[in-house]
Structure 1
Amino acid sequence: MHANPSTTDQDVNVADATERNWVDRYAPRPLRPWLRLARLDRPIGFWLLLLPCWWSVGLAEVKLNQPYPSPWLLFLFAAGALLMRAAGCAYNDYIDRDYDARTARGASRPIPAGQIRPISALVFTVLCSLAGLAVLLQFNSFTIKLGAASLLLVAVYPFMKRFTNWPQLILGLAFNWGALVGWSAATGSIAIPALLLYAGSVLWTIGYDTIYAHQDREDDLMLGLRSTAIRFGENTMTWVGSFYAGAIVLWLLAGFLAGAHLIFFLAIVLASLQMAWQVTTLDTRDGANCLRRFRSNRDVGMVIFLGLVADMAISRMAGLS
């Protein structure tokens, strides 16, 4: 793998990367294009992919009356999320390279910016996928099969905005597969709480990615691409609020059926307040406003996970089951 020699010396920062991120500040210059291709300069996607996995492991361990989520499973899912997000982003950028080259934000990505050749991005995708497979093989056989089943969704997602107003739905189905896999990794099967957690997480993703997609609404219209941001238009706040409300209800039901206790439910309520802030303060005409609210969903996810961990620990100390 190598960068385009005509532009190797260019060090183009990606437009929507976090300000003064560690890749642009500290990573060796030759590695920066690859780290940007993996979107490690934009870590929010890693967290949004990982946290439903961790929730699912935690809820499964609650069902099994464990005092805390398995550290080994949490580590495996962190490694898997890092690798598979890198593979997915490289694949997505390869598929969208011609579209990205025609937009202000997309043109700064490594492939259209000339930092990485398309064929090299595909090789990178394969290598990250193989490393992700090595992680997947650490799980039980049912989980290996279940995890592999997500690849079809991952493969078709980049093409969906060419054909449907609902690419965010396909993203949600693919991006939250870990809500199923986490449960199966801990229990060896799938149960209703995992299905409810997954469904709620899909609604959550449709909501937050609609917010994100408003940054590209004008460019997508120009390019003939589709999204829920275009579909919902001026009614985005109502739609996103409805998706978030549905997610909260489904998460509460998942926790109830898994046997979670008060602290977990309080964490869900706290997360719902943050989600309500996103909706009520959203300005879809302001890209910075949209990006900030999109990124804040990491806080939603962490509140829920930490609440779940605290619930498990305190409930065990209190002698609850």
Structure 2
Amino acid sequence: MNQQTTHSDMGRVSDAPSNNWVYRLLPRGLWPYAQLARWDRPIGWQLLMLPCFWSVGLAANVAAGAGSLNVAQTLLHLFLFFVGAVAMRGAGCTYNDIVDKDIDMQVARTRSRPLPSGRVTSRQAKIFMLAQTLVGLVVLLQFNWFAVALGVASLATIAIYPFAKRFTDWPQFFLGLAFSWGGLMGWAAAFGSLSLSSVILYVAAIAWTIGYDTIYAHQDKEDDALVGVRSTARLFAENTAKWLVGLFGLTLLLLVVSFALAGVGLVAYLGLLAAAVAFAYQIRALDIDDGAQCLKLFKFNAVVGAIIFAGLILALPFA
């Protein structure tokens, strides 16, 4: 019996840690839904949440500089973006699994997921997706109407992404459009508008997303080639490290410009310097033929994003 079958028989998926809280605390009947939402793999909602947090931190620095920072509101926004990230990442992953059911059955890493393994029906998955989307909507309605409209607009990027791997070598770009939307939302929630600095922050997050998801996609490149799934991992191939230099370098450059336009303090730039060291570590350590290492480096980007956010918070005048 191979590893994939073993995980499926146990009600678990092959690419999630078996000691996760999902398997220790939830009844077995809820495991497939937790797996659809990726609650057993928190890295996804963390990476979705971090651009939101960057944007909140950027807006907080501007408000603090103007003497109008509302700390309670800032903390509330951070909490709402946390809840919203968990809910919408879960809804997005469920939607992606519904769309990719047939492909997932052909890929070793994904065939143990709830839909291709038959532990959840398509109808059940759709109902669960709608429930998570409803939670996200409740969160979104706590913001001003400009932010609400902006959040609704993000659904277009979410709808396109699962299909991108079928028509372009750059599906990671479309993931970036969706996953980086929070770079706009934090600012919009604070000010009811957008600024050039927030838009540049959004573009920086897109470049970051393409970089880290390329690392992630190297786990599946052999299976992807067999089933015809396209990715930047396959496109960049042996030149991946060079592309990462460009993508992560662009991320840092754009963040510097965004921070300068917003007038953030020196500590925020020290955070970017620490992030630059972390990016250099990933590029130097990357072995595109070592799937376990690719997954480890992909997850490491949550640390990188947290460092950037910490720099913004520590740059606040009262910090």
TM-score (structure 1 length as normaliser)? 0.93
Alignment match, 2:23: 24
Spell out the pairing of 1:177-192 with structure 2 (5 A cutoff).
Answer: 177-192=181-196
Paired with 1:190 and 1:214, the residues of 2 have a C-alpha distance of 35
Alignment match, 1:52: 51
Alignment match, 2:143: 139
Deviation at 1:19, TM superposition (A): 5.0
Q: Of 225, 241, 244, which residue of structure 1 is paired with 2:245?
A: 241
Alignment match, 1:163: 167
Spell out the pairing of 1:139-288 with structure 2 (5 A cutoff).
Answer: 139-288=143-292
Paired with 2:39 and 2:142, the residues of 1 have a C-alpha distance of 24
Q: Of 93, 96, 114, which residue of structure 2 is paired with 1:110?
A: 114
Question: Any stretches of 5+ residues in structure 2 without a counterpart?
Answer: 1-7
Deviation at 1:24, TM superposition (A): 2.2
Alignment match, 1:5: none
Alignment match, 2:318: 316
Deviation at 1:26, TM superposition (A): 2.7
Q: Of 126, 129, 132, which residue of structure 2 is paired with 1:128?
A: 132
Deviation at 1:60, TM superposition (A): 0.6
Deviation at 1:12, TM superposition (A): 2.6
Aligned residues: CA RMSD: 1.4
Deviation at 1:311, TM superposition (A): 1.3
Paired with 2:245 and 2:223, the residues of 1 have a C-alpha distance of 25
| Cα distance change of structure 1 residues 133 and 67 upon mapping to structure 2, 3 Å threshold | closer
Paired with 1:237 and 1:88, the residues of 2 have a C-alpha distance of 29
Identity of aligned residues (%): 48
Deviates more, 1:280-289 or 1:122-131: 122-131
Paired with 1:133 and 1:301, the residues of 2 have a C-alpha distance of 25
C-alpha distance after superposition, 1:110-147 (max 9, x if no partner):
11122111111111111111121111111101111111
Report if aligned partners of 1:271, 1:304 keep a CA contact under 8 Å in 2.
Answer: yes
Asked if 1:101 is matched to 2:105, the reply is: yes
Return the letter of the residue paired with 1:231: L
Paired with 2:208 and 2:18, the residues of 1 have a C-alpha distance of 26
Moved over 6 A (4+): none
Paired with 2:286 and 2:201, the residues of 1 have a C-alpha distance of 26
Report if aligned partners of 2:12, 2:18 keep a CA contact under 8 Å in 1.
Answer: no
Report if aligned partners of 1:176, 1:201 keep a CA contact under 8 Å in 2.
Answer: yes
| Cα distance change of structure 1 residues 287 and 33 upon mapping to structure 2, 3 Å threshold | same
TM-score (structure 2 length as normaliser)? 0.93
Deviation at 1:316, TM superposition (A): 2.9
Deviates more, 1:10-19 or 1:287-296: 10-19
Paired with 2:236 and 2:74, the residues of 1 have a C-alpha distance of 41
Report if aligned partners of 2:11, 2:31 keep a CA contact under 8 Å in 1.
Answer: no
C-alpha distance after superposition, 1:142-184 (max 9, x if no partner):
1111110010110111001011000000000111101001100
Q: Of 293, 297, 300, which residue of structure 2 is paired with 1:293?
A: 297
Question: Any stretches of 5+ residues in structure 1 without a counterpart?
Answer: 1-8
Q: What SS does structure 2 have at the residue aligned with 1:15?
A: coil
Report if aligned partners of 2:50, 2:309 keep a CA contact under 8 Å in 1.
Answer: yes
Deviation at 1:31, TM superposition (A): 1.3
Paired with 1:67 and 1:183, the residues of 2 have a C-alpha distance of 13
Paired with 1:147 and 1:110, the residues of 2 have a C-alpha distance of 29
Alignment match, 1:6: none
Return the letter of the residue paired with 2:266: L
Aligned residue pair count: 307
Return the letter of the residue paired with 1:59: L
Q: What SS does structure 2 have at the residue aligned with 1:280?
A: helix
Report if aligned partners of 2:282, 2:297 keep a CA contact under 8 Å in 1.
Answer: yes
